[in-house]
Homo-oligomer: A and B are copies of this chain.
Amino acid sequence: MKNSINTILKTSQLSVTTNRIKILELFQNSGNALSHADIEKLSGKHFDRVTIYRTLQTFVDKGIIHTIPTADNSIMYALCKEACTSGHHHDDHVHFICEVCGSTYCLDNISLPQVNVPKGFSINQTNILVHGVCKNCK
């Protein structure tokens, strides 16, 4: 696991630092999306707020994580799949937010539905956000 994190950072031409490893580990261990506040909490306040801001921004820029727009307008971050590269995100998957436990899932395996738009409109990117109850809270 340590190895794959190493690879991710190296591939993105980023220095392998303690902070970046820890933050990536948090994402891998949690399995779903995290907010800035989540990271602060989970890390046990071991690193600076500013560092978290900068690290998350760097990861987004490099295509390591992506942001998820949520209905309450808090910002969530989640690991990208291989398809994402620096400057080119491909996160057209469905995001699911559980209203009970608050977990945010990236449903990568769900087929993306076809969205119709009016004549003259062209689609570049589609974001789908579903609120409901997840299988653990049912």
- Interface residues of A, Cβ cutoff 8 Å to B: 67, 69-71, 73, 75, 94, 96, 99, 107, 109-111, 113-135, 138
Contact = CB atoms under 8 A, between A and B. Distances in A.
A115 B131 CA distance: 12
Contacts of A107: 117-118
A109 to B, nearest CB: 8
A119 B99 contact: no
A128 B126 contact: yes
A76 to B, nearest CB: 9
Nearest to A113: B113
Nearest to A129: B127
Given A73-B75, A128-B128, A129-B69, A115 B121 contact: no
